[in-house]
Chain A
């Protein structure tokens, strides 16, 4: 009969050295993710911590020494009216284009999911702007909006609205909306494709059941389509939102440079000019940290709201 101590000892699972095969498998897995992990650490994690570190110093980016500044850069950033305006513009830009891109993308996807003449052409045409670089798109639309030669004004003239001739990029009240439209034009096709893929995976039986129950088009869309593609809506919205927060530099820089009167100044353009024109690298890093925290909070809240009661996205 085994002793109590012996039983206790046998109950505890002894540590076993992993077999050579298991170790190899683990090492192989690590080696496989190592390049991506290394790049992620070098280009994302390290700059994030380095940026947080530099934000506590006064530094022009060139001097060999940095001067300890504590939290003063954060104070100065939050007191800077142009930075606050650029944050407001960034949020307006990000939230505005996210809503419009997704609504238009979903609308187009629903339309192009039906049997339609020339469907393949419209799908391709809708996606085409996605493959252009933002610089090309920005230059293209700058010329369309040009007050002297632009097609936009010519179009208005041709339909008898020539007297309007809005300052697409010169009116401080309109310029940001014009730039936002360009973002929407470029990315709607991408979201359309996401939604098309999702719509094609909705079981047909659900639509048949809804039809039998006498549901109309709107009811079917609201009660069947939307719940079925909800994870994709969450994913697409998150993608659009975070993208709009951090990928608006090119289009703003090319189209307006942040002007007129800072009306299209977004956080990224202002951070870049603070870094390289004003050479206040510490201050610019403090601004980056503030933007990072803002985007992280919004992204987390948005994800939590849109996946409430659902399996989290993996």
Chain B
């Protein structure tokens, strides 16, 4: 009996020791004999990003991984999880847990990513093949003159989709001004059971798009420079143009276009409501177009841009947008992995490989210039009329707590819990708190010491093959 006890004790002690070892920072061999990023049978790259938009896109990525393995003898293992807004959290968790991440998709919050030192400066690494990207698309991932990601996605823009068949039946034209939109809503409410406008506001990242579109007009088409001035402390969110933007957004609910049901409807729910003709108009991004097409709606889809909310001569509607995502390299990548990660980014963004991925997205404007654009007639309209006027997402410049504050402020003004001034003040307070408590500065890069740059710049630029 004692022997049995002793043996059991030994087994348990060994098991406990193994658990302790597994929980330590020590590395446990996965059986591969080569370092993670070095070429050869054991080469393995780890990629992290949000869930792909469709099975077809996920399969296309797998094809690119297979092509990369065939050419460079290196396996890419991808973890696709959640929404793009959750990627910073996933990356942070991976870093804290000591997990290897060699490549990360970067679809939002570029400022936060860079500020925290999470990303590697790609400027020197991608400069040999910058010409392959569509004009202006890399600029969205450039901060302080440094490139932190390269786009492998579709240039998007925020638009209203509408049921063109219903509008035609009701004798309505696509509205260009807010007054026309209010009129359309009143006709829709009077003659159908559909709600005029639906928004997937449970996904709170949708709300700032309303402010960005309104502020683009109230600021006299200077919303980007005004936003930088706000973040620099030279202007405030309580400026007349900003308060007016909150008020203009509030009017969408006040004048009966938008109901509070949008607070409990996520993006997929909004798309479902629109497809099933329970809503006549939906505010979303151009990325929703392939989803709408795939659902085969029993009506014609139309698009119009954010209606004019000001009468200022010369001011035009400027939708916000940007390429939906880029590829970046985390600053904590194992040094040995950097050459292969750099090579993978070059390979994936090369036109033949990028085309495999982008084709599944039916791209309005692909971020890789040589990849064919969508032939969808609506995409042509978007490409010709809307995208040239599209300006960058302001929430890519805002620090994350300010973005959250804007989301809450929009919900507040829309449904009568705050005045426009109170909403603007709440955002300004958040920004001031950040300055006071976290020493927030917009132009943080100019203050980075050499040691900080050393963390995010490659010691040597890897020598990689460029696909022509």
With contacts A261-B412, A279-B116, A280-B438 known, is A170 near B401, CB below 8 A? no
Pick from B9, B23, B89, B118: contact of A27, CB under 8 Å? B9
Most chain B CB neighbours (cut-off 10 Å) among A39, A172, A259: A259
Q: Is B400 an interface residue (CB 8 A)?
A: yes
Additional pairs, 16, CB under 8 Å, beyond known A148-B279, A273-B404 = A24-B5, A32-B8, A34-B16, A35-B12, A58-B438, A60-B116, A61-B96, A142-B264, A147-B259, A147-B265, A148-B278, A170-B263, A261-B417, A277-B401, A278-B400, A278-B401
- In the A-B complex, the 7 residue pairs with the closest CB atoms: A147-B261, A276-B89, A170-B263, A31-B9, A169-B264, A170-B264, A260-B263
Enumerate chain A interface residues (CB-CB to B < 8 A).
21, 24, 27-28, 31-32, 34-35, 38-39, 42, 58, 60-64, 72, 76, 142, 145-149, 167-172, 256-257, 259-262, 272-273, 275-280
Q: Is B175 an interface residue (CB 8 A)?
A: no
Chain A residue with the shortest CB-CB distance to B331? A62
Bound-state CA distance A301–B151 (Å) is 56
**A residues less than 8 Å from B412 (CB atoms):** 261
Bound-state CA distance A58–B434 (Å) is 13
**A residues less than 8 Å from B273 (CB atoms):** 148-149
Q: Is B132 an interface residue (CB 8 A)?
A: no
Chain A residue with the shortest CB-CB distance to B455? A64
A-B CB pair tally, cutoff 8 Å: 128
Pick from A76, A257, A275: contact of B202, CB under 8 Å? A257
Decide: B19 and A35 in contact? CB cutoff 8 A: yes
CB distance from A305 to the nearest CB of B (A): 38
Pick from B19, B89, B93, B261: contact of A277, CB under 8 Å? B89
CB distance from A174 to the nearest CB of B (A): 10
Bound-state CA distance A34–B10 (Å) is 11
**B residues less than 8 Å from A76 (CB atoms):** 437
Decide: B261 and A35 in contact? CB cutoff 8 A: no
Decide: B417 and A172 in contact? CB cutoff 8 A: yes
Bound-state CA distance A34–B9 (Å) is 9
Pick from B8, B92, B415: contact of A62, CB under 8 Å? B92
B392-412 with Cβ < 8 A to chain A: 400-401, 404, 407-408, 411-412
Q: Is B88 an interface residue (CB 8 A)?
A: yes
CB distance from A259 to the nearest CB of B (A): 6
Decide: A63 and B5 in contact? CB cutoff 8 A: no
Decide: B9 and A171 in contact? CB cutoff 8 A: no
With contacts A146-B265, A260-B411, A262-B408 known, is A28 near B95, CB below 8 A? no
Interface string of B4-21 (1 = CB under 8 A from A): 011011101101100110
**A residues less than 8 Å from B12 (CB atoms):** 31-32, 34-35
Q: Is B220 an interface residue (CB 8 A)?
A: no
**B residues less than 8 Å from A277 (CB atoms):** 88-89, 112, 400-401, 404
Decide: B116 and A167 in contact? CB cutoff 8 A: no
Interface size on B, residues (CB 8 A): 53
Bound-state CA distance A276–B93 (Å) is 8
**B residues less than 8 Å from A62 (CB atoms):** 92, 95, 116-118, 332
Q: Is B310 an interface residue (CB 8 A)?
A: no
CB distance from B167 to the nearest CB of A (A): 20
Decide: A34 and B13 in contact? CB cutoff 8 A: yes
B87-145 with Cβ < 8 A to chain A: 88-89, 92-93, 95-96, 112, 116-118
Bound-state CA distance A307–B401 (Å) is 45
Q: Is B269 an interface residue (CB 8 A)?
A: yes
Bound-state CA distance A27–B7 (Å) is 12
Bound-state CA distance A260–B260 (Å) is 10
**A residues less than 8 Å from B5 (CB atoms):** 24, 28
Chain A residue with the shortest CB-CB distance to B429? A81
Bound-state CA distance A70–B117 (Å) is 24
Chain B residue with the shortest CB-CB distance to A60? B116
Decide: B116 and A149 in contact? CB cutoff 8 A: no
Interface string of B264-304 (1 = CB under 8 A from A): 11000100110000110000000000000000000000000
**A residues less than 8 Å from B6 (CB atoms):** 24, 28
CB distance from A215 to the nearest CB of B (A): 49
Pick from A31, A72, A146, A261: contact of B408, CB under 8 Å? A261
Bound-state CA distance A313–B415 (Å) is 50
CB distance from A28 to the nearest CB of B (A): 5
B4-63 with Cβ < 8 A to chain A: 5-6, 8-10, 12-13, 15-16, 19-20, 23
With contacts A38-B16, A61-B96 known, is A169 near B263, CB below 8 A? yes
Decide: A148 and B96 in contact? CB cutoff 8 A: no
CB distance from B146 to the nearest CB of A (A): 18
Q: Is B374 an interface residue (CB 8 A)?
A: no
Chain A residue with the shortest CB-CB distance to B409? A261
With contacts A35-B15, A168-B264, A172-B417 known, is A279 near B2, CB below 8 A? no
Bound-state CA distance A169–B262 (Å) is 10
Would you list 6 pairs from A and B whose C-beta atoms are within 8 A, ordered by A residue? Answer: A35-B16, A62-B95, A259-B202, A260-B201, A278-B401, A279-B400
Bound-state CA distance A43–B264 (Å) is 36
**A residues less than 8 Å from B88 (CB atoms):** 276-277, 279
Most chain B CB neighbours (cut-off 10 Å) among A21, A64, A277: A277
